Structure 1
Amino acid sequence: MTRDLLAISAANQHKARAVIEDCGLYAAWESVGATVNLVGSLRTGLLLHRRDIDVHIYSQPFDIAQSFAAVAKMAEHPRLARVTYANLLQADDACLEWHVWFTDTHGESWRIDMIHLHPGSRYAGYFETVAERIERALTLETRLAILRLKDEIPPEAGVIGIEIYRAVIQGGVRDASGFSAWREAHPRAEIVDWMPDEPGSAEKREEVS
């Protein structure tokens, strides 16, 4: 089972990267001078069953018209089936939020979340740091535990990835029953902004104390 989950994860990550290439995501945004950073489970290598791709986008100067132009270029692809947009520049996120649904060559639908962040957003660069910290914190054991939980927890449970990552990496959770108990003790509101400590930070805290 362990080997199967690793293989499924690797295969779906390969498919996801093929989708990124096929839909012209990088080319479209780079054509308007923007930079695209991969974040989320594809960046950390923890993508399993869900066909979701997350990217954060930056441009200088920030231009709404250029954001629309990039997505319009992507929409020229005949297999890009749907686009949604939200202007959240006045919210804490300070971003333009794009979601597109793209059908790959196997007929599977992928959702691509493209968050075009204003340079002044509190989240500018934040989730890149989260992904980097998670990557550094992962071991083979914790990677497998995360994939097992993703495989066992049904979608209707409404669990988000960061809950699983914190439960496994920080909380030592290794199975679904342990996760249920851990989740009861850790409301989502207090963990959505969690990230692993920087390597060595625990030792530094001990020295200070």
Structure 2
Amino acid sequence: MKLSPFGQTRALTSQIDEFLDQVSESGLVLAQAYERYVEQGVDDSSEQRLQQLIDLEARADQLRRSIQTTMYSEMLIPESRGDVLGLLHELDDLVDRFKASFLTITIEKPEIPVELREDFKSLVESMGQAVDHTVRAARAYFRNYREVRDLVHKVSYFESESDRIAIRLRKAIFASKLPIERKRELREGVLRIERMANAAEDVGDRLTICAIKRSL
């Protein structure tokens, strides 16, 4: 039994690998950008990271469209085409979320109080791990779908960690003596990061279904 849905379509496999590279790098850049922002606020490096995210998102979108065109024009893997294209679309949306999230940071420039910084960094770390394992699970789907389940389990673990840290942060924010406007601003920052972990888990759920269908 073939474990990859593509057989000998090496050019397409190469494009998908490059696409997943863009998603993976976007997650790494975002985590680095957030970590520095939490410590230093918005500075010149923030704009550089944002531009990296913009470039990575543009390349990922270009690759997704190229893969879609190739799959339809060459009538490749019709039995799995819908699953593959749906999965790539969700991953592309994830990269777009990364860009939009950090763009908001560079515009609004919210300052993180010192006493909340460690938890913010922990939240970013958990989100980054959820994204990283989502990309690993996606690679597994295209190479050996039997590995998907274990990797998606790790995605769920880190998403749950993100939820736990986010709840702790929101409690700390609203227990503080900060003005209500600042509390709401910080809460939105927490939710923004938490939603990216949730989105990664959504992709993981889709991967689980796709892998089950491949096994039938």
Same fold (TM > 0.5):
no
Task: Name the one with the larger strand percent.
Answer: 1
Larger RCO, structures 1/2 (Cα 8 Å, 6+ apart):
2
Considering fraction of residues, name the structure with more helix: 2
For normalisation by structure 1, the TM-score amounts to: 0.29
With the length of structure 2 as denominator, give the TM-score of the two structures.
0.29
